[in-house]
Amino acid sequence: MTIKFSIEAWRESDFERWFAQNPLFPNRERVLLVSKHRPLKRVIDLVCLDAAGQLVIIEVKNEPTTRRTVGQALEYLANFDDASLSDIEEEYDGDLGGEFAKFFGHELKTLGAQRRVVLAAPTFDAPSALTARWLNENLASAKVTFQLLEVQRRGDSFGLSWYGGPAFVRARALAAQTAVSPRGRLYQVLEPGQRPVLWHIGRVDSSGHLRLPVGRALSKRGVRTSSRYLAPVETPPAVDLSSCGSVWRYRSGGRLAKLLGIVTDNKKQFAVFVRFRDGYPTSIRRAQLRRFRAQWEPAMDKVDSWRSVADALERQVMDAT
């Protein structure tokens, strides 16, 4: 799974017109466009038939999808539950049976029982991709299939590719790497293992921008042990892990800090670090990088491992409650 920070803008109507002239999915599967915009008076972007006479509902978004998009698709699917071949024929501008036979080389005798829902968008957030995968696994008996179609603008044309969704696994199966949760929370696995230690870097929003945590999420719960479901991702440009684990000493005293990383938010760089007092981790702090470097200097001191840090911070949370 790749976090994308820039997407060439396009309008939904641009894609709909282009697809009407190029009704091909990435595997070269042809579909026959039946109607667009308001088929059967249900607000669906594109309705097609495949070679088996099965209904293909295409919902187009010119922005990254969210759970709301999946919810809309489910609503449309429910509206088409009782659709018959005669309903589809009424909406087609012409002889649907004749065009189907010309298009696919065989007759359209009945509307297939299978329903295919295709969400077409430039990118897909983790929750919507996870939801689509779950629906595929659990709606098989209802003969419903959800597919994610990644759409990228290429001048006057579009590039299409099927999106399989992030491969979520338990955090204990990951190495020391960056990963994202189904809800878009970005983590760094500081220490892998059966009790992996995670740093909650922030949240990746639907536009691919990193939002830094605030309040309690930063001060006490930013480093913790957890084996939640995560999907490995490329470390985004907004996160610099090159100095992760380095130790720093406060220039005006004996306090120590262990650096988690350097993050960029609104073009400002911040150092995120665990602060120690008398050799004991007390909190997670964030300071503008320039200020941090002015107040702290690299040190050769040894401090607790990330696992010990996580255990100490979690005990503080438990004691506070």
Domains, the chain, with CATH or none: 12-162 (3.40.1350.10), 169-320 (no CATH)
C-alpha dist (Å) from residue 75 to 80, 139, 141, 157, 270: 9, 15, 18, 30, 43
pLDDT for 42 equals 47
Q: How far is CA 304 from CA 98, 136, 274, 286, 291, in A?
A: 75, 45, 10, 19, 24
Task: Name the packing angle between helices 126-138 and 67-79 (round to 10°).
Answer: 40
Instruction: Give the range among 72-76, 140-144, 166-170, 279-283 with minimum mean pLDDT.
Output: 140-144
Listed in sequence order, the residues at least 6 apart from 66 whose beta carbon sits closer than 8 Å to its beta carbon are 125, 127, 128, 206
Per-residue pLDDT for 291 more than 90?
yes
pLDDT score, position 1? 40
Residue 85 has pLDDT above 50, yes or no: yes
pLDDT of residue 2: 41
74 or 174: which leads in pLDDT: 174
The predicted pLDDT at position 218 comes to 67
Asked if residue 6 has pLDDT above 60, the reply is no
Greater pLDDT, 2 or 281: 281
Q: Which residue has the higher pLDDT, 100 or 203?
A: 100
Which has the minimum average pLDDT: 89-103, 204-218, 294-308?
Answer: 204-218
Task: Please give the mean pLDDT across all residues of the chain.
Answer: 87
Whether the predicted pLDDT of 39 surpasses 70 = no
Predicted local distance difference test score (pLDDT) of residue 141: 72
Residue of 113, 111, 129 lying closest to 121 (CA atoms): 129
Residue 253 has a CB neighbour count (10 Å cut-off) of 8
Task: List the structure tokens of 237.
Answer: 């440009």
Res 257: pLDDT: 97
pLDDT at 196: 97
Asked if the model's pLDDT at residue 205 lies above 90, the reply is: no
In terms of pLDDT, which residue wins out, 171 or 183? 171
pLDDT > 70 in the chain, percent = 91
What was the pLDDT predicted at 264?
A: 92
DSSP three-state, residue 45: coil
Q: What is the pLDDT of residue 289?
A: 97
- Given a cut of 50, whether residue 236 has pLDDT beyond it is yes
Q: Provide the pLDDT for residue 244.
A: 97
Please state the rounded mean pLDDT for residues 207-218.
72
Question: For residue 129, how many other CB atoms are within 10 A of its CB?
Answer: 23
Per residue in 95-145, pLDDT (tens digit) is 999 999 999 999 999 999 889 999 999 988 777 877 887 888 888 777 889
Position 104 scores a pLDDT of 96
Over residues 21-36, the pLDDT tens digits come to 999 999 899 999 998 7
Q: pLDDT-derived band of residue 303, with 50, 70 and 90 as boundaries? A: very high
Give the residue-averaged pLDDT of 207-235.
Answer: 81
User: What is the structure's pLDDT at 5?
Assistant: 39
The SS3 assignment for 141 reads helix
